[in-house]
Structure 1
């Protein structure tokens, strides 16, 4: 099923149900559809046709949602990019996607104006007087009825750019089939029901943001957005709108739970929560259980390329566990080989660390990167997608992520995963966050360097070292030999630690 049809089915089922809330404005499915039709018909008059890319640089707001659905009805390709990208990365995405139309707002104006286009697109500004025409003018020029184009479900619905920690972003084309299958899997894996409501926290340039929007639409639920969302605003909306489910990265749960106003709000309607994008510490997992009291709590492990790898819904018993393969997936652990020499047949014995590979034949899986056959060949080999992540299965066959191949460090001849050390350090009562890298050392090959964000500034190196010495999970080789106290850990927009920046901090400290 194509996504334009998904939306129209939702409109026909419950046209008077509230579909979207922004500030004091509430839009039913019928009202939202009328604006979507105006946007679609207006874009069509501007020459947007099937497979054209429409680049969107907007915050999560009604206009972004309407553009998403209008583009699906046209059979064009929704191509959102982050407004946080560097000018260099923004320029790369523009050159790579060659958009027919670029939609932007005041916050992203500078990125658009600084970019150079080989073929000048049509510029649509959110505010009056911006671009070739404003979004308001786009809506006024359209018609409230629009007949969706016939689109095969194998055609591309959207293209997301991965926020990798190294190199330029890679365009990930996702078909209508990919998105529909991933959405159905998401609904099942999170036990969502008809008329759920959610807060549109994750941006629509991220697979998590798209998934929340699509899942709520399929269920005729309520999608609540706030273009400028801080923890207090989020708590206010969660309470006032009686939000029932939430899907965010761990950092946002931390900010929500630690906000000084948290106890003032009634969050009893919030029964289903999930996270993805980065590991969640055991301490934060426990806080989520204690303060939010969810009926269902899921760790979703996946990627932009293949939405679901595995999920775990027994985090009360196994915090940090990634669980078992999703409903569409097959998974293997193979011999880690940074050079790319391993094959799907090189499976590691039970209880050993291996690289996680996922079969690339499922309906959730993309077919390859946009304009990057080299990257596609490296990622997909023999119909298996090589994640670059390292994992280990426990006695129940449940997966635990232990790091990345390119982040593994070797000290004293022992392979060491930064994640397991970070988990130990984060369990110290005076540590808010911890991140670990390897640093070259003549004696050990590499030593473990720990970056600490203290929750209590009385914490000392000696105290942490004694804590590690006594900890059951910390061998002598794994113990950090160097500590650096920092105000924050550098992370990507998805919440992943950017270790190359940590190496720069360590080098400057030594200088």
Structure 2
């Protein structure tokens, strides 16, 4: 039987992709399946083949083999058993990509415990909220974070250092998991503020199977690829699409550890011979803004991005630098990836700025408030068909005559001014076309006359002035519409970002609300 990994075309995806074909890619079945076994153990053949390549911010390279991770994860699983950890207990870890990170991630899942990856830049409030929510038996972290974590009442903190690796070395290097496919395996927290706890999305072991749709058609992973994803594995993109998906197919993956540096990333892409990369839109923009890309030679054949749309200027840079289409991959932690551009499919036309089309087997629709489908070009709410009915993605979108979807901002990023409906994303993308604008964020702010007006926060390589404000306003209205421009512009040194790297417009809106309150 031909496996889905042997097909690359869009036509074959429509003809052959289904749930039964996905299960053929795994050793487990609908009754018994374990993520650690599928991603690591079954690929540990004694050859020393690379599983993960880590580009450290300090310039160091770390290569971990399937054999090394499999042995460490098995030993950690035995160690957890010795600590009295039971099936369903939560094991949290707040670690940068490293041998201890992967040993903990896969070792906990082998025992039937639930792995809870946490972002390494969490402060005490953010950490305490998540610990109070998921109540882990153990938190594994590094020596730097341990003192902060030890202040959380009732939490056992284990430092992931050479001492831990030495301690687990006494245990066997093999482990037989007993998990069922429906058993919970991972709690994944979405990004959010420290004062508002985002809900933990609870994934079972069989979620790995469904994930393969995104792997095959969102990132285009196939055996033989040299893959890289710089997103933190504490978040959905970095963990599921950057780590679990490639490893499940026996594909070596790469990641970044430490404070992100776009030049260091490009060095890793060159040195590791990366042929397939999936990253956040911000990563591409930062590489462009570094001005250093011409110093490197790339072997990229497939590219994908997620998190938010990429502005046209960055898309142009990608085309010039890598010579391949940048394929959008749209989804959320809660619903998974649903719209893709089929990287590597020669019979699929990638339209710049488009989210692409639905993953095989899914139905999406852009709807008006009354639930009827919109006409091509008409903006509405993006909805996903589920058994129980239509589920809102909370995003605005439109389709074109060929059935391609386009993102038009979050539902709360639509700005209505004097009766005109405007998209924050569209105005941001236009501002980013200006040669002096490096980053831009747009929100609506209250206005007595118009209800709301557009305000833009700008990071530029040129000093802010009244003349520059007028220049940007004219630049925008000339390209969009006479009413569609930022009436207020503030020049800033930095923009608030979510941990996943997206502009945090809610924080900007909250900041403006506080300013208005203080002024009143």
2:504 is equivalent to residue 467 of structure 1? no
Query: CA distance change for structure 1 residues 305 and 317 in 2, over 3 Å: closer, same or farther?
Result: closer
Q: How does 1:334-413 map to 2 (within 5 A)?
A: 334-336=367-369, 345-360=371-386, 382-413=388-419
2:492 is equivalent to residue 486 of structure 1? yes
Displacement after TM superposition at 1:252 (Å): 1.3
1:54 is matched with which residue: 61, 84, 91?
91
2:318 is matched with which residue: 269, 272, 288?
288
Counterpart of 2:169 in 1: which secondary structure?
A: helix
Where structure 2 has 5 or more consecutive residues not aligned to the other structure, the ranges are 1-27, 55-59
Superposed CA deviations along residues 123-151 of structure 1, whole A, max 9, x for unmatched, are 210236xxxxx5324422422121122x2
Distance 2:41 2:361 in 1: 24
Superposed CA deviations along residues 250-302 of structure 1, whole A, max 9, x for unmatched, are 111122233354322221x22222110122101111111111223x5310000
- Compute the TM-score of the two structures, normalised by the length of structure 1: 0.85
Counterpart of 1:78 in 2: which secondary structure?
A: strand
Counterpart of 2:257 in 1: which secondary structure?
A: coil
Distance 1:316 1:264 in 2: 30
1:258 is matched with which residue: 286, 289, 293?
289
Distance 2:192 2:328 in 1: 21
Superposed CA deviations along residues 296-353 of structure 1, whole A, max 9, x for unmatched, are 53100001112212113599863221111112422122334xxxxx7xx544444322
1:220 is matched with which residue: 250, 260, 271?
250
Counterpart of 2:329 in 1: which secondary structure?
A: strand
Displacement after TM superposition at 1:509 (Å): 7.2
Displacement after TM superposition at 1:66 (Å): 1.8
The number of aligned residues is 471
Superposed CA deviations along residues 442-479 of structure 1, whole A, max 9, x for unmatched, are 211111111111133377011112222322x2241x22
Aligned to 1:125: 159
Stretch of structure 1 that moved more, 180-189 or 482-491: 180-189
Aligned to 1:378: none
Counterpart of 2:233 in 1: which secondary structure?
A: coil
Q: How does 1:196-211 map to 2 (within 5 A)?
A: 196-210=225-239, 211=241
2:272 is matched with which residue: 238, 241, 246?
241
Superposed CA deviations along residues 193-214 of structure 1, whole A, max 9, x for unmatched, are 2132233521111111112212
Distance 1:111 1:310 in 2: 40
Displacement after TM superposition at 1:107 (Å): 4.0
Q: Is the 8 A contact 2:367 2:374 kept in 1?
A: yes
Stretch of structure 1 that moved more, 212-221 or 314-323: 314-323
Pairwise CA RMSD: 2.6
Counterpart of 2:494 in 1: which secondary structure?
A: coil
Aligned to 1:98: 135
Q: Is the 8 A contact 1:278 1:494 kept in 2?
A: no
Displacement after TM superposition at 1:439 (Å): 1.3
Counterpart of 1:114 in 2: which secondary structure?
A: coil
2:340 is equivalent to residue 311 of structure 1? yes
